[in-house]
Amino acid sequence: MAAAPGGSAPPAGPSPRLAFSTADSGGGMSGLNPGPAVPMKDHDAIKLFVGQIPRGLDEQDLKPLFEEFGRIYELTVLKDRLTGLHKGCAFLTYCARDSALKAQSALHEQKTLPGMNRPIQVKPAASEGRGEDRKLFVGMLGKQQGEEDVRRLFQPFGHIEECTVLRSPDGTSKGCAFVKFGSQGEAQAAIQGLHGSRTMTGASSSLVVKLADTDRERALRRMQQMAGQLGAFHPAPLPLGACGAYTTAILQHQAALLAAAQGPGLGQVAAVAAQMQHVAAFSLVAAPLLPAAANTSPGGNGPGALPGLPAPMGVNGFGSLTPQSNGQPGSDTLYNNGVSPYPAQSPGVADPLQQAYAGIHHYAAAYPSAYAPASTAFSQQPSALPQQQREGPEGCNLFIYHLPQEFGDAELIQTFLPFGAVVSAKVFVDRATNQSKCFGFVSFDNPTSAQTAIQAMNGFQIGMKRLKVQLKRPKDANRPY
């Protein structure tokens, strides 16, 4: 419940910055008792990330819980930029650093808010930069500048925890230093404010302010992360190809199903579409070997049917998932089958991959019903459906297990698109490793599509595994003990 409108003012003292509070920057008390309109925060305050918040709770609801630990400087529930949908988490900054520490130790994983099945998270936000992301390397200092000079320079940007000028054994400055701030934000501010901003006396070029990590360390770490994400010890092309193959197999399977379920005409159309899909997927790996792959499309579109490539979707360029991509009339942000007719222009496209794209689009434009077998041709389209990743109505949400490791959201969407309008599709990813957990959720806008998808895809074999596709377990039925 939000606070009753027009009723009680917040407790005495300045209002914290709540995202929902009405704009009242002046304090609004006509000069009497002019406490600070905006509370002050410690220079080394910690921004906290708060997770596992029930989506029904806004800032006003949350405030009492957190005020126990000190005055709140700012509290913001995260919302989807487009839809305003509550994302189930928030940022919280106390005026005092100590309040944050107390709140973290008292609340983090210590209690579960109503309706949640995991305990609340209260911990420094990712932006607070654990470790070295708040430590700066400073170069191009003057040789005569000591720690005090450097501190004076950086002090305006925040709380300096460490400041060390690098020196030769004889004590002379090497013209560089390390400066560690209390937070990553402060460090970033210093970079913004100081890097290149001036040339110190005796230095040969302008001041250098950057994160202390060397580029090499940074690159190394990034590569390790990427290797982890790919779940492989070999370079990228192989997983990409494998992923395309999976999608292709599934689409062919779907084509067969459609062929069986529908009249011969449409079935054939779907089968051909899957065939072309295969071409497109394969082209990503072996494009140069495939001359004029797309010329099987009806109407024989010559080169030039396609403007520049649409942004490739997933691994195989099937459809356009970009909301309102070309300002097409009637385009919407629901994931439908996404086959929009691209206007012809820009002649001279000869690349096989592009032709494959062109073929699919062209073909799909000619036979839209073949690509929208289950839903979009029939269900009315809400005019401005926001792109959200949330549950659909009861009976519309699927749990999918045994996904291939390579499957991402895009592949999941594509796999389930033929069965209806996909409201959301999410592959679960391990936070630490960014690896897929091989399960995910797909939500349709109607139960029939969901049932169709279960019928078609449950038990579908991929490699050694079979997909499990079933309705998502209702929220209340999953309490362990």
Partner DNA sequence: TTATATT
∠ Cα 275 280 286 (to 5°): 115
Quick check: 468 binds DNA (CB under 7 A)?
A: yes
Which stretch in 165-173, 263-271, 438-446, 452-460 sits in contact with DNA by CB under 7 A?
Answer: 438-446
Q: Rounded to whole angstroms, how far apart are CA atoms 341 and 361?
A: 6
Q: Pick between residue 51 and residue 304 the one whose CB is nearest to DNA.
A: 51
Q: Which of 18, 39, 41, 47 binds DNA (CB under 7 A)?
A: 47
Alpha carbon 75 to chain centroid distance?
A: 22
**C-alpha distances in angstroms, 349 versus 48, 304, 305, 437?**
52, 5, 8, 40
Dihedrals phi, psi of 104, to nearest 5 degrees: -60, -50
Which stretch in 21-29, 116-124, 281-289, 298-306 sits in contact with DNA by CB under 7 A?
Answer: 116-124
Quick check: 20 binds DNA (CB under 7 A)?
A: no
Q: Rounded to whole angstroms, how far apart are CA atoms 148 and 170?
A: 19
The owner of tokens 């420094």 is 124
**Considering the complex, what minimum distance in angstroms separates the CB of residue 125 from DNA?**
3
The secondary element (H helix, E strand) that includes residue 273 is helix 264-286
Q: Which of 424, 436, 449, 452 binds DNA (CB under 7 A)?
A: 424
Which stretch in 61-69, 125-133, 163-171, 353-361 sits in contact with DNA by CB under 7 A?
Answer: 125-133
Alpha carbon 341 to chain centroid distance?
A: 28
Quick check: 164 binds DNA (CB under 7 A)?
A: no
10 Å CB burial of residue 407 (0-12, 13-18, 19+) is: buried
Quick check: 178 binds DNA (CB under 7 A)?
A: no
Quick check: 108 binds DNA (CB under 7 A)?
A: no
Quick check: 225 binds DNA (CB under 7 A)?
A: no
Quick check: 389 binds DNA (CB under 7 A)?
A: yes
Quick check: 86 binds DNA (CB under 7 A)?
A: no
Q: Rounded to whole angstroms, how far apart are CA atoms 421 and 375?
A: 6
How many CB atoms sit inside 10 A of residue 20's CB? 14
Which stretch in 59-67, 146-154, 319-327, 393-401 sits in contact with DNA by CB under 7 A?
Answer: 393-401
Quick check: 82 binds DNA (CB under 7 A)?
A: no
Exposure of 224 in the CB half-sphere (CA atoms within 13 A): 7
Which stretch in 144-152, 293-301, 334-342, 424-432 sits in contact with DNA by CB under 7 A?
Answer: 424-432
**Considering the complex, what minimum distance in angstroms separates the CB of residue 76 from DNA?**
6
Helix ranges, 68-175 (H): 97-107, 147-154
Q: Pick between residue 71 and residue 143 the one whose CB is nearest to DNA.
A: 71
Q: Which residues contribute to the site for DNA (CB under 7 A)?
A: 47, 49, 51-53, 74, 76, 78, 81, 87-89, 91, 117-118, 121, 123, 125-127, 389-391, 397, 399, 401, 424, 426, 428-429, 431, 437, 439, 441, 443, 468, 470, 472-473, 475, 478
